[in-house]
Structure 1
């Protein structure tokens, strides 16, 4: 029988109380400065916020607990932005929306950092017996968002980013699931040859963990060749953004099949309209009706994008909807 798992792609909005507090402590607005060596007061504020968002997920009944990535001022670029051999420079638009990040300019070897592992260690202590979910940018997206002034070759740089992320994952505490967020596979689709190398880099990161690995693209659907190459990677699930694009995602599933697990982005991570749990469950049925697969081992129910864009109260409501939708799907499957 299929297991339905409620979760998110991480990158949560900050609790309302933290916005003024952190701005006062840092002397700037979110997105301007997180260096990895914040002072004690800033660290304490983030620790308190992390504890709150973990509690919110537990209260909602999510099946996977994420750290929330509240320190990730530079969004998906964060693991590079806090690296010693990376210089964060001018402000860059984050894809085509109204959020921004500092350009991470790689100026030296991408050796081990451990920044995200420290966040997950703290999360594991707070989560207790709940299943932990790690979140990272996928190697293709991280390389796409960065500027290389060290390796000098796109192929070598992508491989270095993949090796760097694999090293970071290797230091993670025990986790049930790893979500690799890969919006660049949609937003800046790799060309012939690069799509295969992107899959190889993803495979390298996935091989660094025994957890189930979900590659979650969003803001559309993958091009056919990109999707086909992605299935060659040793991953457990591919994510599908059924909010932004239904037809092309269904086509990929029908034409090329899928892994034994499936991640369905069915709730809108950017829209404040809160979906009905029954509606989410019905969307799962709609996908099953379109796909020639009788049963998947695991189906993840999630927002289509990170929830950073939502007001905090709406974010809380979305979590509860996903948890209830997964419960409804389990009941129906039984």
Structure 2
């Protein structure tokens, strides 16, 4: 029987009250919980944000609950920007969006700090029996791509160090059902011949640091065939494909020609558009993708937004969480009915 799981890649929009409160508490530059000079009131505000994020997901009925990454002002660069070995440089545009992050400039050997693990510990404390925690991290290739190396001096050595750093972070995580490694750079700025094998090995190393199911989630564009072929060497449970913004046929060509993992993640809800999809339509998209991949029956299909929902107004974000949960239920029921008829 096909297992259809409703989840998200995290990075949620801050509630309006939190934007106002944090601005008042710390001015326009928020500090991170790892900073020794952080005010307890700021930590409390982030804790309240986390509680809101968890409650929203539970109310929507998602199958996996993420921490929400309310503290990640620097988006996917965050796990580096809070490290002692990193200095934050100037403001950089986040891919092609009207969002920005502080350039993390690595100036010394990277070492895991437990920053993300502390967030996940706090999220785990909010879960009820039966809830399933999902961890979220940038993938090693994307994190290296977003950063500036002012220490290692070699692109391959730097990527290798980032992979080791993320694996160390994962080793400190509390028990979690799933780990999403977010790898938009893998498709927007593919590794290239000199880094293809190393990028795959770095992902494999991070995935090997957890017993959870690991999903490599890409978005915005489709895979280049060579990069995808190398990624298939990594021991991950699922690869995620953007079926909203990316070239669908290119995605399907990679899957049908080169195969994919036993599970699959489908970006089917628009994480950047305020139009709220109909659950039945999203469920039909799940069936359509399955129909386009006749040679493979997936054990688990993750149904997600195609990108982070950070870009959305909070009410639209919340509405799309419910759409995901309803669509997954419909898709699972439809798949079960098809199996019975067969």
- TM tier relative to shorter chain: over 0.9
Contact 2:256 2:295 survives alignment (8 Å): no
Match status 1:254 vs 2:256: yes
Structure 2 counterpart of 1:277, from 259, 276, 279: 279
Gaps of 5+ in 1: none
Q: How does 1:87-236 map to 2 (within 5 A)?
A: 87-129=87-129, 130-236=131-237
Is the 1:35–1:81 Cα contact (8 Å) retained in structure 2? no
The alignment partner of 1:239 has SS state of strand
CA displacement 1:103-127 (0-9 Å, x = unmatched): 0000111012100000000001101
Displacement after TM superposition at 1:288 (Å): 1.3
Please give the secondary structure, in 2, of the residue aligned with 1:66.
coil
The question of whether the paired residues in 2 share the 8 Å contact of 1:216 and 1:240 is answered with yes
Measured in 1, the distance between the counterparts of 2:104 and 2:32 equals: 12
Aligned equivalent of 1:310: 312
Matched residue, 1:13: 13
User: Would the aligned equivalents of 2:33 and 2:43 in 1 still touch at CA under 8 Å?
Assistant: no
Give the CA deviation at 1:88: 0.6
Residue 43 of structure 2: aligned partner: 43
Kindly state the Cα deviation for residue 292 of structure 1 after the two structures are TM-superposed.
Answer: 2.1
Instruction: Name stretches of at least 5 consecutive residues in structure 2 with no aligned partner.
Output: 337-342
TM-score (norm 2): 0.95
Please give the root-mean-square deviation of Cα atoms over the aligned residues, in Å. 1.0
Query: Counterpart of 1:127 in 2: which secondary structure?
Result: coil
Per-residue deviation, residues 263-304 of structure 1 (Å, max 9, x unmatched): 000000000000000000100111112112352100000000
Deviation at 1:33, TM superposition (A): 4.6
TM-score in terms of structure 1 length = 0.98
Q: Are the equivalent residues in 1 in contact too, given 2:271–2:312 (CA < 8 A)?
A: yes
* 1:35 to partner: Cα distance: 6.6
SS where residue 65 of structure 1 aligns? coil
